[in-house]
Amino acid sequence: MVALTDVEVEALGSHGFFVRDGFLGDAQALAARAAALARVDAGTLRPAGIRRGADRSLDAAERGDHIEWVMPGAASELEALWLRFQALGDAVSSGAYLGLGRFDMQLACYPVGTHYARHRDAFPGQSNRRLTAIWYANADWKPEHGGVLRLFPEDTGAPVDVAPVLDRLVVFLSERLEHEVLPVHAARLALTAWFYGRGQ
Ligand code: OGA
Ligand code: MN
């Protein structure tokens, strides 16, 4: 079970995001990291697409990560994280009065030299992503590895940098928060859940 703290609820409302460390706990975090690495090593991840007009073309200048969707049934080794994301969605729904329903889960690996340009995950008014939750799997992250997540809160305008360290969770409002991934100097792993509104 996951419950939001008052500070997290307040941060989500005022700044549009919060960060929580130790989302899974050491043992489960290392197991999830190993499972993510195994998927990367299996060679099944594919360059992420950027939608341009009617085409789904690939644009590495915008976004250089390689991705794979993680399905709940087949996610046995990542099941602990999947269940924890599910509990997080319930906690945000009840604690922050966001009516969230289903979510998609994606594994992303950023190879050395890639980044993801500033963007939002959704645009207001469309029936799509409401909440983004990203869990990082980088066990020995150091500043020289790069790949920091930079958030642009609307309220202060001052960018906030989040290091993608193992077992750190960042949660933000998909329609509100602009963000980018700064250039990556060591392969970078993240697992993201995008939550939709109820009935979507
Ligand atoms: C995304 C994204 C940020 C990160 O996949 O849309 O912005 O820190 N990822 O991995
Ligand atoms: Mn994004």
Instruction: Write down all domains in the chain, each with its CATH number in brackets.
Output: 6-49+63-197 (2.60.120.620)
Residue closest via CA to ligand 1's atom 9 equals 181
* Ligand 1 contact, 181 CB (< 6 A): yes
Q: What is the average per-residue pLDDT within 4-9?
A: 96
pTM: 0.94
89 C-alpha vs ligand 1 centroid, how far in Å? 18
Least confident of 73-77, 90-94, 128-132, 163-167: 73-77
Determine the pLDDT at residue 155: 85
Pairing of strands 17-21, 168-173: antiparallel
Q: What is the average per-residue pLDDT within 158-176?
A: 97
10 C-alpha vs ligand 2 centroid, how far in Å? 22
pLDDT of 54 higher than 90: no
Those residues whose C-beta lies under 8 Å from the C-beta of residue 14, and which sit 6 or more positions away, are 155
The four Cα atoms 32, 147, 85, 166 give a dihedral, to 10 degrees, of 40
71-84 pLDDT tens trace: 876 556 799 999 99
Q: Is 94 left (phi over 0), alpha (psi -120 to 50) or beta?
A: alpha
| Helix H or strand E segment including 80 | helix 79-95
Least confident of 71-85, 96-110, 168-182: 71-85
Mean pLDDT of the chain: 91
Q: Is 105 left (phi over 0), alpha (psi -120 to 50) or beta?
A: beta
35 C-alpha vs ligand 2 centroid, how far in Å? 22
pLDDT of 20 higher than 60: yes
* Ligand 1 contact, 115 CB (< 6 A): no
| Helix H or strand E segment including 11 | helix 6-14
